[in-house]
Homo-oligomer: A and B are copies of this chain.
Amino acid sequence: MKEQELKDYLKEKGLRLTHQRENIIKHFCDKNKHYTVEELYEEMKKEMPGIGFATVYRTLQLLVAAGFALERRFKDDVTRFEPLHKNDHHDHMICIECGRIIEFENKKLERLKDGVAKKHNFCILLHKLEFYGYCEKCRNKKIKGKK
The interface of chain A, by Cβ under 8 A from chain B, is: 73, 75, 77, 93, 95-96, 102, 104, 106, 108-109, 112-113, 116-117, 119-136, 139
Contacts and interface: CB of A to CB of B under 8 A. Distances in A.
Contacts of A124: 93, 131-133
Given A108-B112, A112-B112, A117 B133 contact: yes
B96 A125 contact: yes
Contact of A122 (B121, B127, B134): B134
Nearest to A122: B93
B129 A129 contact: yes
A131 B122 contact: yes
- Tell me which of A123, A124, A125 has the highest count of chain B C-beta atoms within 10 A of its own C-beta: A123
Contacts of A120: 93, 102, 104, 136
Given A73-B77, A129-B128, A135 B112 contact: no
A102 B116 CA distance: 12
Given A93-B117, A117-B131, A127-B130, A122 B109 contact: no
Contact of A134 (B106, B108, B123, B139): B123
B117 A109 contact: no
A127 B117 contact: no
Contact of A139 (B75, B109, B123, B133): B123
28 contacts: A93-B120, A93-B122, A93-B124, A96-B125, A102-B120, A104-B116, A108-B112, A109-B112, A109-B113, A112-B112, A120-B136, A121-B135, A121-B136, A121-B139, A122-B133, A122-B134, A122-B136, A123-B133, A123-B134, A123-B139, A124-B131, A124-B133, A125-B132, A126-B132, A127-B130, A127-B131, A127-B132, A128-B130
